Structure 1
Amino acid sequence: MPRAFADITFTDSVKAAQSLYGSRDANRGFELAEDGRHEIGPREAQFISARDSFYQATVGDNGWPYVQHRGGPAGFLKVLDERTIGYADFRGNVQYLSVGNLMGDERVSLILMDYANRRRLKIWGRARIVHEADEPELVARLEDPSYRAPVERGIVITVEAWDWNCPKHITPRYTVPEVEVMLEQLHAEIADLKAQLANR
């Protein structure tokens, strides 16, 4: 069984590029792997649930790809089961590029980043748009009660493949809460050293 992502992405053109640049043999292992990586495991579920943003690619009717940044409180991208993820889609700039693309082509690709720890998860799937009027219970599962932005629709994605990506070239970046935790530790160490000096 090939890795599901290789089955999707290793097209004839990609294989030709691998042959041209000398990596075809190294990449054959993905086509012979026993773990298809099309179901979300505990490690992937934990990673997905901790993210506060991701990048989403869709394809327009004219064949052009479109990449959009999606953000929200940590955990806004929900793991619904081992093959399904989804998120509440909030009102934005009302261009509806991603939504319109998904109406014509359900295929979607996501990249989830953990810059601080230099980790990256890629997900391929098929998305469908859900509305509260039609599936209120499903949309309710996607909502975050603490984030009071108006939900226009839900996006539910059936996962076709996932893969962890190489950490090389990921520049560490930190969120404000991550920096605050580091500063708290430094302040505690400084206070401890000051106390030691005062008691001498």
Structure 2
Amino acid sequence: MHDDGADPVLASYRPPSQLVVDKEIDHLDVHCRAFIGLSPFLTLSTADADGWPEISPRGGDPGFVKVLDEHRLVLPDRQGNNRLDSLRKVAVNPRVALLFFVPGVEETLKVFGTAELLAADALDVDLTEFGRAPRSVLVVTVQRAYLQCAKAVMRSGLWDPASRIDRGALPPFGTMIRDHCRLESPLPDDATLRAELALEL
């Protein structure tokens, strides 16, 4: 654990319990594997050579991330916006963090390690989804993993249907993007944009 005595704010926190410390493991055990196998969504954190961070949502069918063994997993890269922010960062700084979610489960799974960017056909693993192979894959070598307690998801009510907001609480996505980009002409309505996205899945 870190020595936080020099920082008065950090020093004001009580130390973590021994259980919280001991739950961190250096591999994917049977429970981590089961969690990943049920997860349709994760966030991928990367950073460039100077440490500037990036975070990206990744999704697919449950189990779209494949566990090769207790120390390696494969994250396929699907059709996206072609900014390639995360992949460009991995190319210069291989350190990554993944946070896995399972709908209806309030705990999450954190995985830390290093990633290697490979062509989609570099592995003898079937990663076809929605009838298409991925554009590339990240092979993550796991260094640390642990299950995160449910407090944050419980507080947010993330899986509680009563917590869902009406989409009308925000402007249409096309309107927000038009304003971000300061466009003069309107973009297609959200139904058209979603139909176009569905064709790219």
On whether the aligned pair clears a TM of 0.5, the verdict is yes
Q: Equivalent of 2:146, from 163, 177, 197?
A: 163
Contact 1:76 1:142 in 2 (8 A): no
Structure 2 unaligned spans of 5+: 162-201
Quote the Cα distance in structure 1 between the aligned partners of 2:6 and 2:30.
32
Alignment partner of 2:33: what SS? helix
Residues paired across the two proteins, number: 158
Question: Retained in 1: the 8 A contact 2:36–2:100?
Answer: yes
Equivalent in the alignment of 1:58: 46
User: Alpha-carbon deviation of 1:119?
Assistant: 1.3
> What does 1:15-164 align with in structure 2 at a 5 Å threshold?
16=7, 20-24=11-15, 26=16, 33=22, 37-132=25-120, 135=122, 138=123, 140-144=124-128, 146-164=129-147
The alpha-carbon distance between structure 1 residues 48 and 18, as it changes in their structure 2 partners (threshold 3 A), is: farther
Structure 1, unpaired ranges of 5+:
1-9, 176-200
Would you say the 8 A contact 2:120–2:133 is kept in 1?
Answer: no
CA distance in 2 between counterparts of 1:127 and 1:51 reads 19
Q: Which has the larger Rg?
A: 1
Distance 1:14 1:148 in 2: 54
State whether residues 87 and 143 of structure 1, in contact with CA within 8 Å, keep that contact through their aligned partners in structure 2: no
d(CA) in 2 for partners of 1:17, 1:157 = 36
Q: Secondary structure at the match of 1:43?
A: helix
Distance between the aligned counterparts of 1:155 and 1:120, measured in 2?
21
Instruction: Select the structure that is richer in helix.
Output: 1
Contact kept? 1:56, 1:70, Cα under 8 Å: yes
Residues 89-141 of structure 1: per-residue CA shift (max 9 Å, x gap): 112101010000000000000111124121111110100011146x2xx1x41
* Matching of residue 173 in structure 1 with residue 159 in structure 2: yes
On the 8 A contact 2:118/2:137 being kept in 1, the answer is yes
Q: 1:89 to 1:160 in 2, by over 3 A?
A: same
Q: Which amino acid aligns with 2:159?
A: R
Q: CA deviation at 1:73?
A: 1.2
- 1:169: Cα distance to partner? 2.8
**Contact 2:4 2:11 survives alignment (8 Å):** no
Q: Alpha-carbon deviation of 1:88? A: 1.7
Q: Which moved more, 1:46-55 or 1:162-171?
A: 162-171
Secondary structure of the 1:37 match is coil
CA deviation after TM superposition for structure 1 residue 83, in Å: 0.5
Question: How has the CA–CA distance of structure 1 residues 13 and 165 changed in structure 2, closer, same or farther, with 3 Å as cutoff?
Answer: same
Which amino acid is 1:131 matched to?
A
Mapped to 1, the partners of 2:98 and 2:75 lie a distance apart of 12
Partners of 2:5 and 2:11 within 8 A in 1: no
